[in-house]
Structure 1
Amino acid sequence: MKISNLSLFLYESTNFLALAFQCRDFHKLDNITDICDFVNQTASCAIDEGFITYTSFIYCYFSTELLPLAVFILLIWWLLLFIGLAVTADDFFCPALTVISKTLGLSVTFLAFGNGAPDIFSAIAAIGNAKNGDAGLAMGALLGAGVFVTTVVAGVIAIICPFDAMQRPFLRDVIFYLAAVFWTFYILWKKEITKYESIGFIGLYVVYVLVVVVGRYIYQKSRGQPAPPVTVVTQNTITDERRPLLNTDQKLPAYVDSTVSVEYQPYSSISHFFSSLNPIDSAAWQKSSCFGKIYHIFKSPAVFMLKLTIPVVDYDVENHNWCRYLNALHLTTGPMFAIFSTKCKYYNLRLKYIFNVYPVWAIILPIGLLLTLSVILSSKHHPQPIYHPLFAYLGFLVAVIWIYCIANEVVNILQTFGIVFDISNAILGLTFLAWGNSVGDLIADTAMARQGYPRMGISACFGGPLFNLLLGIGIPFTIGTIKQGGSYKINLTLEEYVLAGFLGFSLVSSLLIVSLSKFRMSRGWGVYLMILYVVFLVIAILAETGVINAQV
């Protein structure tokens, strides 16, 4: 039934009716002008996190005929944001964690957090932007990525390189993952999560960590080998080739040729400044194919902004990536970016004034400039100053803010696509967001298999999603339950149950098949997993379109 102009007039005139409408109701309007007014004045169309109202962008700045162009522009912007998210995590966030772990004497394996940072921050953003408890995007992304990695990625590895799995690590990871999935299904079934239940997800990960550490210690002792340094997660549990952060003795080759690292050369500080700020690495550019050069150009705006605001301390580069003028400038640009970009309802970081008199930026700016001048006067072009590792802490904080801001925009665009095409958040989460967050795992894990390390790749297929699920639910819902007074009501659709059910089924079937095959990861098992994922997508789409219907 179409919404009449009278009802639209009443809607525009009363807050009561405005609250009664959902943003998707604009599909019932014929006039594009009415839709523009609708999305601008409907409460559910407003964004709590983020900087761009994408529904207004589409329906107020483009005519009906140009709607495909608007969607195409958003799609390109979404791809750029996803690239920025990956670059920030890999080339800025993870190196900062490496330095922090070494300076504080922490185990480097705590840096598994860097591996799952995009997934976790996307979940935080999705829960923060959820309307009326609609956690479908977060649940869809976490569970959908789990289904994709444990079926498609694991299946591809088994097809490429059949091998015999290590029994205890495989059983440990799958059993803990099953426990996490069943607990998630219980939360979905009762449609509510309490503060202590969300903290329990984090606690379960701590238990998993202890089991890994103790098991590794006992295994080494039983073989008469010296016990290794106590680690949180072994290398072949939660890691991949892109982020080999789980071994203190391991080099980080992924960062040596990255766009961030700049090897020391004896030229002037000014030349070094512009070279360090260059978003396109000259050596990587020369080695790149035509497609690779297009990719470098495409991501260069994001890399430039990241380099301008985030200092990177890299122990694998001569001079530890120290650039006198650029690092000094970071003491101003980093805090200023943090002040103007933080817009978080949970933490209320966007403080405009202190004592309702002094603007925060007017206080931070002179302090930053003073610190910048101090670093320039107290340091040299070479060698790096003794306080250089402290820049990693600033880099960590600014990188976290960048990741969170980008994740918010990624989530907001996906929600806009859902509104435009009338697709549920759960479907968007289990497809676009899950695929985007998992494509790196597919590339890295299959590359490890081709290089003769299929055990490492298959372990990442179960350990990585387990980490993401436990902390991706635990951290966002802990924040959400505290914000809402102790519990969080979850509004669900059939798709979330399909997700959890299929993930549990795939894990149980893999556990049985692999165990009965004497832990042989065969091509037949890989083909089975690929077929299982296709069946999962078909059932999820049928549930979305209403062909399969059930009361939830």
Structure 2
Amino acid sequence: MRNPRFRVLFSIISIIVMFTLLYDSSLAEKRSVRSMFHVYRVKLKHRRNMQELHETSSDDKGIKLMDLQVCPEFYEHEGYKNKCDYLIANPDCTSDGFFNYIKFFYCNCQNYSFLGYFVLGSWLVVLFYLLGSTASNYFCCSLETFSNLLKMSPTIAGVTLLPLGNGASDVFASIAAFMGTGSGDVGLNGVLGADVFITCIVVGVVCLSIAKKKVQIDKKCFIRDVCFLLFTISCLTLIIVIGKVTLLGAIAFLSIYVCYVVFVAFTEVWRKKGSVSKSDSFDLFLPLVGNPISDENEWDEEEQSKAPLVGPNPSDLPDSICMNNLRLPVWGWFNEEQQSKFSFSNLCWLLEMPLNVPRRLTIPIIEEDRWSKMYAIASAFLAPVLLAFLWNTRENTDPFSGKIAYFIGSGTGFILSVLASVYTKTDHPPRRFLFPWIIGGFFMSIIWFYIVADELVSLLVSLGTILGINPSMLALTILAWGNSMNDLMSNSSFAMNDSKGVQIAMSGCYAGPMFNTLIGLGVSLVLGAWSTGSEPYLVPQDAGLFLTIGFLTAGLIYALIVLPQNDMRPNKVLGIGLIVIYVVFLSIRISMAVGFGSLDSL
């Protein structure tokens, strides 16, 4: 993504696709009188067709007229000329996103389906980019500043904030799926699919890349991580088998991660109290400071406890993954020095504005190299307004309450912007009252995470409808792969450094999936159970989940057997075996989708 030509091409395509969807959005359609008359004509024609159908089939009791409020009849569109007319007459047949992708494909691209596939596919890539760049450019940096402000120990920060920064996209995609209408199985398959991919493909690639080095990893930490992950999968399996979970049960599942953090912290304190040398007690979750592969970083314990969670200059690569020990620019483009090398950097900046400016105007940033008083004042005002806008996008929102929300949001934003203007300076970020800025950046990053993740899930559901594929199958593959690319790139790069990098990579391959499962699905289950009140929350049923869990468990047990037998040295046998397990798993799932051809068959 550092190629300038690719950057310009990506930005141009992103702008075209985004404005194409905006033009076709429901907001623009509501303002179109022409579309209102078209809906009226379609409904009149449908009423005549249904009357004729009823007259010709009055003696046939086997024929049932369709319910206009549901979408199973969408494929047959009985009584309608085509699918577009059905969608126009039934506006509720949508995937609950900001854009009606199904209608866009079948109405606007009715005679040009290849154009519809191109637009939706490109928008899928853009959403993945937005999800990843929001994590690297905003969310992770808020976590880093938050860690420094609270003076968290590296161990605690490493098992809490570090996985949260790396797994934020998986977590919020899962929450968005569970909060959607009937898309909980997308969240389950997305998280579990990513777990299988990381524990098989990512671990396999790491093993193959360092097999010749014969690096030995820490046995106790490896067994600890794998056993906790197996226990987590067992508890999740029990919940899926029962088919429902209470609020107390969901909280208990979520609390497993708290137990894991406490256990890690306790073991590290115990190891430090022992007479173990610094090199032997290397913390697999400990975020290193400076160059992770240099032996010159021999800091004493006091200096290390005061060090930031990541490198001393987190803004050197503003688009890199700032919560990783090795700052990899996975989702970003260039730093400022690289941009200056190209004469058309200003053009690139202008092209990226539609994607970057909305987040920059609503997420406070107090980093030294990215500080702007103008943006700070704008974010203080526009963040509450954005929340008011999201409040009004809810279903069945009362118009009066919507106006009240905008009034409160505008008033709150005005007060905050005045305070930001008075108590900040142009040349540097605020030195005092940092906590409100950090909390604001953290909270608004979460809001943008949810917006993008919710749209991503809606697009996957729409693509599943268009392609005739279960959306959970797309979550198991496309969503899982997209969210796991970060882990593949960062962990592989770690492993190529030295023995410490290998330990960090192997540990991250098991700590990451555990965090995504416990926090991503745990929070989703808690919110789902909370929404049902005293009644248990019905867990989405998907027969394919048991197959996914089975292969996930098989990969964990295989690694748990092979690694100790090889003296804890990752080799080609482990790597090839894990990759074969994933290939077999994916082949079975795809064959099930193709063989049965039913949306309920997976």
Q: What band does the TM-score fall into relative to the shorter chain?
A: 0.7 to 0.9
Note the C-alpha offset of 1:340: 1.1
Aligned counterpart in structure 1 of residue 75 of structure 2, from 16, 27, 37: 27
Note the C-alpha offset of 1:135: 2.7
Q: Which whole-Å CA distance do the structure 1 matches of 2:342 and 2:508 have between them?
A: 28
Aligned counterpart in structure 1 of residue 416 of structure 2, from 371, 379, 383: 371
Q: Where does residue 306 of structure 1 map in the other structure?
A: 359
Alpha-carbon spacing, 1:29–1:189, altered in 2? closer, same or farther (3 Å) = same
1:30-429 paired onto structure 2 within 5 Å: 33-40=81-88, 45-48=93-96, 50-63=97-110, 65-107=111-153, 108-109=157-158, 110-111=160-161, 112-131=163-182, 135-162=184-211, 163-223=215-275, 234-235=285-286, 249-250=307-308, 252-253=310-311, 255-259=314-318, 282-286=336-340, 300-314=353-367, 317=368, 321-342=370-391, 353=400, 359-387=404-432, 389=434, 390-429=436-475
Q: Could you tell me the percent identity over the aligned residues?
A: 26
Note the C-alpha offset of 1:293: 11
Q: Contact between 2:133 and 2:319, CA under 8 Å: does it hold in 1?
A: no
For residues 343-393 of structure 1, the C-alpha deviation after alignment (integer angstroms, 9 at most, x for no partner) is 6869x9x78645x8x532234324423432443344432344333623222
Alpha-carbon spacing, 1:300–1:478, altered in 2? closer, same or farther (3 Å) = same
Alpha-carbon spacing, 1:248–1:157, altered in 2? closer, same or farther (3 Å) = farther
Note the C-alpha offset of 1:427: 1.0
Note the C-alpha offset of 1:251: 5.6
Q: Contact between 1:201 and 1:473, CA under 8 Å: does it hold in 2?
A: no
Alpha-carbon spacing, 1:494–1:293, altered in 2? closer, same or farther (3 Å) = farther
Note the C-alpha offset of 1:55: 1.3
Q: Which whole-Å CA distance do the structure 1 matches of 2:343 and 2:424 have between them?
A: 39
Alpha-carbon spacing, 1:378–1:206, altered in 2? closer, same or farther (3 Å) = closer
Q: Contact between 2:69 and 2:92, CA under 8 Å: does it hold in 1?
A: no
Q: Which whole-Å CA distance do the structure 2 matches of 1:511 and 1:88 have between them?
A: 35
Alpha-carbon spacing, 1:85–1:31, altered in 2? closer, same or farther (3 Å) = farther
Instruction: Report SS of the residue matched to 1:255.
Output: coil
Note the C-alpha offset of 1:57: 1.8
| TM-score, length-scaled by structure 1 | 0.81
Alpha-carbon spacing, 1:129–1:343, altered in 2? closer, same or farther (3 Å) = farther
Q: Which amino acid aligns with 2:317?
A: S
Note the C-alpha offset of 1:299: 5.2
Aligned counterpart in structure 1 of residue 552 of structure 2, from 477, 487, 503: 503
Q: Which amino acid aligns with 1:308?
A: L
Q: Contact between 2:204 and 2:576, CA under 8 Å: does it hold in 1?
A: yes
Q: Which whole-Å CA distance do the structure 2 matches of 1:282 and 1:465 have between them?
A: 34
Q: Where does residue 441 of structure 1 map in the other structure?
A: 487
Question: Which moves more between the two structures, 29-38 or 180-189?
Answer: 29-38
For residues 251-305 of structure 1, the C-alpha deviation after alignment (integer angstroms, 9 at most, x for no partner) is 63483233479xxxxxxxxxxxxxxxxx975423246899x99998875532222
Q: Rg: which structure is higher?
A: 2
Q: Which amino acid aligns with 2:587?
A: V
For residues 201-254 of structure 1, the C-alpha deviation after alignment (integer angstroms, 9 at most, x for no partner) is 21111111111111111112122579xxxx9x93279xxx9xxxx976246348
Question: Which moves more between the two structures, 388-397 or 156-165?
Answer: 388-397
Q: Contact between 1:188 and 1:490, CA under 8 Å: does it hold in 2?
A: yes
Question: Which moves more between the two structures, 409-418 or 374-383?
Answer: 374-383
Q: Contact between 2:74 and 2:83, CA under 8 Å: does it hold in 1?
A: yes
Note the C-alpha offset of 1:521: 0.8
Q: Contact between 1:280 and 1:296, CA under 8 Å: does it hold in 2?
A: no
Instruction: Report SS of the residue matched to 2:314.
Output: helix
| TM-score, length-scaled by structure 2 | 0.75
Q: Which whole-Å CA distance do the structure 1 matches of 2:309 and 2:417 have between them?
A: 31
Question: Which moves more between the two structures, 249-258 or 167-176?
Answer: 249-258
Q: Which whole-Å CA distance do the structure 2 matches of 1:164 and 1:439 have between them?
A: 25
Instruction: Report SS of the residue matched to 1:256.
Output: coil
Q: Where does residue 5 of structure 2 map in the other structure?
A: none
Q: Contact between 1:280 and 1:300, CA under 8 Å: does it hold in 2?
A: no
Instruction: Report SS of the residue matched to 1:511.
Output: helix
Instruction: Report SS of the residue matched to 2:82.
Output: helix
Q: Contact between 2:463 and 2:471, CA under 8 Å: does it hold in 1?
A: no
Q: Which amino acid aligns with 2:142?
A: A
Q: Which whole-Å CA distance do the structure 1 matches of 2:115 and 2:79 have between them?
A: 19
Q: Where does residue 268 of structure 1 map in the other structure?
A: none
Alpha-carbon spacing, 1:383–1:540, altered in 2? closer, same or farther (3 Å) = closer
For residues 16-73 of structure 1, the C-alpha deviation after alignment (integer angstroms, 9 at most, x for no partner) is 94378445x423348985312433555873344x32221122222221x212211211
Instruction: Report SS of the residue matched to 2:317.
Output: coil
Q: Which whole-Å CA distance do the structure 2 matches of 1:124 and 1:247 have between them?
A: 33
Q: Which whole-Å CA distance do the structure 2 matches of 1:32 and 1:439 have between them?
A: 43
Note the C-alpha offset of 1:527: 1.1
RMSD of aligned alpha carbons:
3.8
Alpha-carbon spacing, 1:176–1:36, altered in 2? closer, same or farther (3 Å) = same
Is 2:575 the partner of 1:526? yes
Alpha-carbon spacing, 1:44–1:174, altered in 2? closer, same or farther (3 Å) = farther
Q: Which whole-Å CA distance do the structure 2 matches of 1:34 and 1:7 have between them?
A: 18
Note the C-alpha offset of 1:96: 1.4
Q: Which amino acid aligns with 2:463?
A: F
Structure 2 residue runs without a partner (length 5+):
1-47, 55-63, 293-303, 321-332
Q: Which whole-Å CA distance do the structure 1 matches of 2:463 and 2:171 have between them?
A: 21
Q: Which whole-Å CA distance do the structure 1 matches of 2:49 and 2:426 have between them?
A: 68
Q: Which whole-Å CA distance do the structure 1 matches of 2:383 and 2:131 have between them?
A: 17
Aligned counterpart in structure 1 of residue 503 of structure 2, from 426, 432, 455: 455
Alpha-carbon spacing, 1:344–1:6, altered in 2? closer, same or farther (3 Å) = closer
Q: Contact between 1:235 and 1:247, CA under 8 Å: does it hold in 2?
A: no
Q: Which whole-Å CA distance do the structure 2 matches of 1:362 and 1:515 have between them?
A: 63
Q: Which whole-Å CA distance do the structure 1 matches of 2:91 and 2:240 have between them?
A: 26
